[in-house]
Every structure is written in structure tokens, then in C-alpha cells.
A and B are shown apart, each in its own frame.
Chain A
Amino acid sequence: MRLELVKRPERSKLFSALSPLIAFGLTIIAGAILFSLLGINPLTALGTYFIEPITQVWQLHELAIKAAPLILIAVGLAVCYRSNVWNIGAEGQFIMGAVAGSVLPVLFPETIGWWVLPLMLVMGMAGGAAYAAIPAFLKARFNTNEILTSLMLVYVAQLVLDWLVRGAWRDPQGYNFPQTVQFNPSAVLPELFPMSGRANAGFLFAVIAAVLVWFMISKTLKGFEVRVLGQSPRAGRFAGFRINRMIYFAFLLSGALAGLAGISEVAGAIGQLQPTISPGYGFTAIIVAFLGRLNPLGIVAAGLVLALTYLGGEAVQSALGVSDKVARVFQGLLLFFVLGCDTLINYRIRLVGSASAAPDVPAVVTTAPTVEAAR
């Protein structure tokens, strides 16, 4: 027995819509198996993981806090991946955005004014974009593989942040803890509904960014350029689109959004710089981008799902004593299943019995029209 792919005459609309749902269902099943292996009642565990963290209003605020950076980053990555630019260093751009945006509140903690926060956000975006410009430049100018360079820069960014918070930027009154001063109130993002929880304006940025990028991709010439260059660089060249310009565009846009996510996280949920400011948002956002079908509006929904996996990980850790690393396992599984289910959009899957070589012949005849139609 083996699997065989038969190309569909056209993309299946049905599976296009269903595949993320099937993938999520498969992840739940795999999760149930995983919990059973750990000797935990799978129903209890899954309830604790996926339902309990969103039963109260303040918990929804926490969900929004986790979803905001994921959505912001993933929206930018969607533009990259659609245009066939492989930026996987968003984690580093997130950190550099946070660092650049923190210059003002850390070095001039006394500064107060309405303009402080907007300036921080702009600097955060500039920092992320500048950091993303490095792999973009190397790719455009020297043809260097952007996957490897952007990833290497993540390690470098983590070390730079570590160096700053343990050295020059350390809070002198902080009892030697590796952290900066707490940001003053005018450098902190406002909360959306302070009465019920601590979700902040970061989530608003995420939704706005998603809508804007969705508009850009689906309604403007630039978006058309993104799609054409992604699907066929050759056709794009004939249309007069320049690949190098697209590399810069995709990297700078996604870097700026990752940087905005970084400074929003630091000026929002955390309130200061510390050695670790992200539980891997930049990498999880890759999953968000694919789960959302590289469509900014789908990404908003996918971001909420992935945010839930973080909260669920914390929940099972405190309630059942399972390592919160289980969140990463769920995230990895989810991406696998999404990619696998996406095959169903373009192909039908047939089981072929390899033992029966002779009866295979009529099968060939019956499927021949489908194959012909595919061409």
C-alpha cells in the first residue's frame, strides 16, 4: 500500500476552507494521544488546555496580549512568503525593534509627554526594519541565502539584548538584576478596557495592520506584484517587476511590523527590557502565517488560536504539572498538519495497493481522464 497524489483540475475551494479546521482537529487528536502517553486523562487535559484559559473575561485579555505580537509579525511574514522571500528571522527583528524603541524610556527616563509613546513606536518600527534590511541587502546585493542570514541574526540580536540589559542599560537601582528601569507612565501603552483586564493597544495595532496589509495584497498593484513575483519570478520580470525591490519591500515591511510588535510588547505587557522578552513569538508567527493561509484576515484568527496554545501550556503546567514546553509541541504539530492538509487543495490522494500490479491496469484507464483534464 502506498499513497499517490493525483493532481486536481483546479484548486479545491472546499479543502481550501476546510484544511485549517482539519489540521486543528488532527492536532487535538494528536494532543489527546500525547496526554494519554503521559498518563493524564486526555479529556481533562484538553479541557484544561483549550477551554479553561478562555472562560473568563480577564483571560480573554491575556489571549489578546499573546495574540497581538503573533498577528503583527505573521502579517508581515505573509507578505514575505507570498512573494517568495524567506524571512525567518522575525524573532531578531522583534528584539531589535524592542531595543530601538526603548532608547528613549531607558536613557531618558524623565521624559514625559504625549509624543513619547508615538516616537517610541516609530523608533521600534525603524529598528526592526533596519535589522531586516541586513539580510535583504545581502540577498539583493550578494545573492546570499536569506533563510540562513536572517536566522543567524536572531542569535546575534538575543546576545545584543543580553549585553545591554546586563551592561550599559541595567537599572542602577535594580539590585543587580539584569533589567532596565521600569518605563514611566507616558512610555507605556494604554490599556483598552482597564476595568476588565490588561489587554493593551498592541492588539489594536495588530488588527489595523492586518486590515491594511489585506487591502494592500488584494486590492493594490503592489499586492499584485507580491503575488506574481511569488508564483512566478520569470513572469514578474516580464511584467517589469523588479525582484530586488520586492526583497527590500518584503523584508522592510515585515521587519517594521516585527519591530512594532517588539516595542509594543516591551511598552505594554512587560514595561521594561529584560534578557528574555519573547517566548519565541517570531518563530510561532511563522506557524500563524501558514495556519492563516498567508491571508492577513485569516492570520487574525490563526493568531488567536496560537495565542491559546501559549495560555494552554501555562494552564496545564500549573494544573497538571506538565511541562509548558507542551505548547511548542502543539505549535509544531499544528504547522505539520496544516502543511499536510494543504496538499489536499491541489491533489487528490489515492491509496494504491502495490502488491496488485496486474489489477492496477484498469485503474490507470479509469483515472486517465482526470490526468488528461489536469493538463
Chain B
Amino acid sequence: MDVAVSILLTIATAATPLLIASIGELVVERSGVLNLGVEGMMIMGAVGGFGAAYLTGSPWVGLLAAIILGALFSLVFAVMTLTLATNQVATGLSLTLLGLGLSGMIGTSLVGLPGARLPNLYIPGLSDIPVLGRLFFSQDPIFYLSIALVFGVSWFLFRTRTGLTLRSIGDSHSSAHALGIPVLRYRYLAVMFGGACAGLAGGHLSLVYTPQWVENMTAGRGWIALALVVFASWRPLRVLAGAYIFGAVWIGQLHAQAFGIPVPSQFLSALPYVATIVVLVIISRNKRLTLMNTPAALGQPFVPDR
């Protein structure tokens, strides 16, 4: 039983950064913007969070720094794609390339330093419940935040007027503009929310998952987060399910390597990436369904006319 609980706990830890980054990107894509820079914003959050935590000695400051850095970094993307109407795919790619470079440069002096892990929060009373208490009420603070984000975003998108407006912009920016909705303002805020989430996800990696700085420590998680949004057909609760499935795959291959299963470790390490491809194929096979779920204006630049 104890083994099962600890495995489930590690799955939650592996799933949390994926979940947060995808929830952020989901909001961005719902507003009609495709930001392929998740990996770059995430790694900036990771290096910024670790650096700030190391300098101040407080992982909480690190957490805040990760969020702010992610949001600021996404602002670069927003200015480019929204104000200057550049190609979103290419700009997102360059955000990732720049993030990987910048973080590597900033991080050279941080390699090998001891990190500070965010302490777990034990919810009084509830954390004493056998099994469930350890699973749900004795986790790191970002875990609670990630769950709150899922339900918060779900409520925002489908139960509030602003959420409805945001979705309408994602489906047709011209109609929204004609109705007098400030399309670009909504999109700016959505992109920065996505950036803050990606930064937070990166912060989780360097403050909770493995409290240290390793170059390229995101290891493609930002891209998997992008795939998860497609997998979830742009629905928050499905992102939750998807992130935990991928967390399980990620942890599963690590355990398999530790057990010494007679398969080359490289093949096991490749599993999450292969699984991403397989899942994408399955989900996008139905062309009409994909078309129906995808925000119709996704990736199209918008220049407001008068």
C-alpha cells in the first residue's frame, strides 16, 4: 500500500508541471493565439525561480520570480505577434530558442548549487486521513494551485461572461472586433496568463521536482504540454486527465529503468515522446471533430482596422 501511495505521489509531482503549463496554454489558444514558446517560458521560470530562491534563500520568492519571469517573457511574444502581427509559429519557436539560450547563459553560475525545496503543506485534520490524506492533503503548494487552476479556468471559460468573450475572440476575432470587444487587450492578458503558468510550471521543476538547476531541465515538457492541449480538445478537465496519464508514463519509465527491465534505458526514456505522438495521432484522426474543437481563429494574425 505504501509503495502504491508513493508511486501515486511521484506521478502527481511529475504531472503538475505539465498540467499547469497546458492549462495556461489552453487559455492562450482559446483566445486564438498559438504560443509555441511554452518550453522557453518554462525554462526561464525554472532558472529564474531557482536563481531567486538561491539568492534570497526563500523558495517562496523563487516561486514568485518564476511566475513573473514567465509572464514577462511571454510579453515579448505578445508584443511581436499581437502588436506587430508577426507569424505566431515562427515567433513562438524563437521564444523557445531564446529561452533555452538565455537560461543556459544565466544558469552557468547556478549549476551544481544546492537548491531549496518548497515545503509540503499539510492541511490540518484532512492530512491525517489514511491514504487519502497523504495523496491529496499533504502535497507541495503548487499541487494545490494546479488543481485550483484547472477548476478556476474551467469555471472562468464556461461560466463567466468574460470567458465567453474570450472564447468568441478565439473563434472569430473579426466579429468580436466588430462588436467593439478589445481583441488585442484580451489576447495580451491571455498570453501573459499563459506565460505566468509556464513560468510557474518551470518553477515547480526547479523548486519541487528536482530542487536544482540543470541545463535544459524541462526536457521537452513544454512541447508535451502543447500536445496535451490538443489531446484535451481545449477542455480544462480533459487536460487534468491527460497530464496525469503523461505523468504516469513519465514515472513509469523511470521506475522501469530503476527495476532494471532488460530494455535499453534510452528506449524507456523515449516513451513519453513516443506516447505523445501516438496520442496525437489517435485524437486528430477524426478530422471533423478536430476541426470542430479547434478555436477557429487559432494562429491567425489580427490587425484591427477602423
Contacts and interface: CB of A to CB of B under 8 A. Distances in A.
A283 interface: yes
A343 B266 CA distance: 43
B277 interface: yes
A145 B230 contact: yes
Interface stretch (A55-63, A169-177, A295-303, A327-335): A327-335
A288 to B, nearest CB: 12
Interface in B95-111: 95, 97-102, 104-105, 108
Interface stretch (A108-116, A159-167, A209-217, A251-259): A159-167
A120 B131 CA distance: 59
A339 B273 contact: no
A55 to B, nearest CB: 25
Secondary structure dominating the interface of A: helix
A364 interface: yes
Contacts of A326: 101, 105
A332 B36 CA distance: 14
Contact of B84 (A5, A88, A283): A5
A323 B108 contact: yes
A368 to B, nearest CB: 9
Nearest to A342: B86
Interface string A345-374: 001010000000000000010000001000
B290 A143 contact: yes
A153 interface: yes
B86 A343 contact: yes
Interface string A147-164: 111011101100110110
A336 B97 CA distance: 10
Given A138-B277, A329-B101, A336-B80, A347 B266 contact: no
B276 interface: yes
A371 B305 contact: yes
Given A323-B108, A331-B101, A343 B85 contact: yes
Given A144-B284, A332-B99, 15 more contacts: A143-B285, A152-B274, A153-B277, A155-B273, A159-B267, A286-B90, A290-B90, A323-B108, A325-B102, A328-B105, A329-B102, A329-B105, A331-B101, A336-B94, A339-B84
20 contacts: A2-B83, A5-B84, A138-B277, A142-B284, A143-B285, A143-B287, A145-B284, A148-B226, A151-B220, A152-B273, A152-B274, A156-B274, A159-B267, A323-B108, A329-B98, A332-B94, A332-B102, A336-B98, A339-B94, A347-B303
What 7 pairs across the A-B complex have the smallest Cβ distances? A328-B101, A332-B98, A325-B104, A335-B94, A163-B266, A325-B105, A159-B266
